[in-house]
Amino acid sequence: MTLDIEAFLATCRKRTNLLLENCLPSNDAEPGLIEAIRYATLGKAKRIRPCLVYAGAALASNSSSPLGTPYTDLTHSNAIDNTACAIELIHTYSLIHDDLPAMDDDDLRRGKATCHIAYDEATAILAGDALQSLAFEQLSLIDDIPPAQVLLLVQHLSQASGMKGMVLGQAMDLGATNKSVDVTYLETMHRHKTADLIAASVVMGALSNGHADERILLSLHDYGMSIGLAFQVRDDILDELGDTETLGKTVGADAARHKNTYTSLLGIERSKTLLDELLKHSLSALDGFGDRATQLRDLAHFMVQRTF
Amino acid sequence: MTLDIEAFLATCRKRTNLLLENCLPSNDAEPGLIEAIRYATLGKAKRIRPCLVYAGAALASNSSSPLGTPYTDLTHSNAIDNTACAIELIHTYSLIHDDLPAMDDDDLRRGKATCHIAYDEATAILAGDALQSLAFEQLSLIDDIPPAQVLLLVQHLSQASGMKGMVLGQAMDLGATNKSVDVTYLETMHRHKTADLIAASVVMGALSNGHADERILLSLHDYGMSIGLAFQVRDDILDELGDTETLGKTVGADAARHKNTYTSLLGIERSKTLLDELLKHSLSALDGFGDRATQLRDLAHFMVQRTF
């Protein structure tokens, strides 16, 4: 990984953390709720999806150095920022709900107790619900691109998150627990559970920077679906090989719950081969974009090489 | 109640049920999820909030008979329809989540088993999550009013549902269970839990029909907050006096859970006086609107007189 991408990731993370902090003001009426929301949202996190938004925005820019000079500067666009923020809010809500006792029943997330452990189940459910509303509110407040373009963002986010996207994936995941499924089922499940929102991040990044060329958006979607699936394959490999401290969540938890994973279905070696193929496919979707896709290419490498 | 308002309610309900049916297609990938969503959303329900959307739209119309002739016809506007549908989807998601074991732990809703009883907790959580996404998707698909106006709808809906609106109210409700609170707390809680979304329904109805006069929207919001609170006071009275079969939910459940209600804090008689005051206030907010507010006035009377 180059120094440039490290700096880009750090800049995106810092900016996302600031944006999240700003959209989560304190609330005196019911302090427990807002505390739980802030607890789950702020703090240490990879912020991969916001990075993908900024990288997608970079590709859509007309200038040769869309994120400013140097590479690590981000343009301060309300549309790009609020899009990055909205995606991370949706992702955080999904983590809170997925960790609930009725779902994956996890007690560790992002290196600390899950929301329902730190607070209680009811508060965790409500915190997730409020984060989803807030994500759409963030989009509705965008005022520096045409409203029709903002509506496209709302449409992409709602479709990627809902019953044909992320929620469908989570339902498929729960439906497959303690059952044997094949690799096709696993792939469909992860395409929805993980890749739909990741692909939406890239596409929405481009849209938030004013880009609406259908052919380009399709390429970005293609890139996002491949790298999103790769991200999940890498997750399964890390879950098999990694350690709890580095990952910030319980290692081997999926195996313990008799969940189907790439490593359990394919073994480590074939999972690694699949990872390479998905990386190659994601990079090929960026063919022809030249330097404008530098961040997206570097992010793809980062996502398949990550150790946390 | 006049025959006209009965017919209006019936027409709104029928149309809302049709719209909901249309936006909930079957899904082969994970049939359980979509079944649970359809189970909770379709079927017998008052559909008060969609009625308020149509009535708000009627007020905003320039024609003297905005919902067509006769009174019972509804204009077939994509914006009004999708707004009515979106509000009901949000309301349904909130019912599913509020009924969960970690929340109010109810087993009866709209005359049948609650979603988590008919299916399971995980599916109920996901069904609620998906319904929230779908609500915003419905708004994003509106194509017959200016996009800037649609964005206002997204903004109103997200703010009324989220951590400063409905979710805050539910958190306050849970925070007050088994505790003594005063009437001021109870009012603030219900303003958020119930009235915020009801007020948003009326305001969004007007917005969806192209109206954006700030002064009128404020009057509609005022009407909605009063009648929304009245709706809750009536709910508490019915919970004290009604019967389970008519209400379609367990009577006396709030008292059994040691929840604070208007009747427990004020007694039946003073609750009825409060109900009258709120009705009067809601009607006074409509002063000057003449015949255009007929449906809203009739709905106000209906909401404080209802027996189910």
> If pLDDT is split at 50, 70 and 90, which confidence band does A22 have?
very high
Check whether B57 has a pLDDT greater than 70.
Answer: yes
User: What share of chain A in percent tops pLDDT 90?
Assistant: 74
B30: nearest CB among A128, A137, A175: A175
Report yes or no: A175 at the B interface, CB cutoff 8 Å: yes
Residue B305 DSSP one-character state: H
Check whether A138 has a pLDDT greater than 60.
Answer: yes
State how far the Cα of A262 lies from the Cα of A274, in Å rounded to an integer: 9
Q: What is the arithmetic mean of pLDDT over A256-276? A: 89
Q: What is the arithmetic mean of pLDDT over A191-218? A: 94
User: What share of chain B in percent tops pLDDT 90?
Assistant: 74
pLDDT of residue B243: 63
Q: What is the arithmetic mean of pLDDT over B216-226? A: 97
pLDDT of residue B255: 62
Tokens found for residue A265: 């279905």
pLDDT of residue B257: 66
CATH of the domain at A301: 1.10.600.10
Q: What is the dihedral of CA B2, B5, B6, B10, to 10 degrees?
A: 170
- B128 chain-A contacts, CB cut-off 8 A: 129
Q: What is the arithmetic mean of pLDDT over A255-262? A: 76
Residue numbers of A between 16 and 45 with CB closer than 8 Å to B: 27, 29-30, 32-34, 37
Which residue in B189, B156, B307 sits closest to B243, CA to CA? B307
Tokens found for residue B79: 């914006």
Check whether B70 has a pLDDT greater than 80.
Answer: no
pLDDT of residue A249: 67
Find the residue in B nearest to A102 (Cα).
B122
pLDDT of residue B282: 98
- A144 chain-B contacts, CB cut-off 8 A: none
> If pLDDT is split at 50, 70 and 90, which confidence band does A1 have?
low
Chain A: nearest CA to B199, how far in angstroms?
17
Residue B28 DSSP one-character state: S
Report yes or no: A102 at the B interface, CB cutoff 8 Å: yes
B102: nearest CB among A122, A133, A140: A122
State how far the Cα of A252 lies from the Cα of A132, in Å rounded to an integer: 29
Task: Give me the helices (H) in chain B, please.
Answer: 3-23, 31-41, 48-60, 78-98, 115-118, 121-140, 147-161, 166-176, 183-190, 196-208, 214-241, 244-247, 253-256, 262-284, 294-305
For residue B174, what are the contacts with CB-CB under 8 A and spacing of at least 6? A122, A123, A126, B103
pLDDT of residue B65: 44
Compare A168 and B62 and report the one with higher pLDDT: A168
Check whether A81 has a pLDDT greater than 90.
Answer: yes
**Sole residue written with tokens 């029928």:** B14
pLDDT of residue B307: 78
**Structural contact between residues A246 and A221, judged by C-beta atoms closer than 8 angstroms:** no
pLDDT of residue A280: 98
User: What share of chain B in percent tops pLDDT 70?
Assistant: 88
Compare B119 and A2 and report the one with higher pLDDT: B119
Q: Do B171 and A123 touch (CB under 8 A)?
A: yes
How far does CA A263 lie from the centroid of its chain? 22
What is the total count of domains within chain B?
A: 1
Q: Do B122 and A134 touch (CB under 8 A)?
A: no
Mean pLDDT rounded to a whole number for chain A? 90
**Sole residue written with tokens 């074991």:** B101
pLDDT of residue A69: 36
Residue numbers of B between 115 and 144 with CB closer than 8 Å to A: 120-123, 125-126, 128-130, 132-134, 136-137, 139-141
A155: nearest CB among B33, B120, B137: B137
Task: Supply the pTM of this predicted model.
Answer: 0.94
Report yes or no: A159 at the B interface, CB cutoff 8 Å: yes
**Residue A282 domain boundaries:** 3-305
Give the Cα-Cα-Cα angle A28, A30, A34 (nearest 5 degrees): 85
pLDDT of residue A61: 76
- A132 chain-B contacts, CB cut-off 8 A: 129, 132-133
Report yes or no: A100 at the B interface, CB cutoff 8 Å: yes
User: pLDDT per residue over B4-47, tens digit each?
Assistant: 888 899 999 999 999 999 999 776 668 899 999 999 999 889 99
For residue B175, what are the contacts with CB-CB under 8 A and spacing of at least 6? A30, A32
Task: Give me the helices (H) in A162-293, please.
Answer: 166-176, 183-190, 196-208, 214-241, 244-247, 253-256, 262-284
Q: Do A163 and B125 touch (CB under 8 A)?
A: no
Q: Do A168 and B30 touch (CB under 8 A)?
A: yes
> If pLDDT is split at 50, 70 and 90, which confidence band does B69 have?
very low
Report yes or no: B188 at the A interface, CB cutoff 8 Å: yes
- B159 chain-A contacts, CB cut-off 8 A: 133, 137
Mean pLDDT rounded to a whole number for chain B? 90
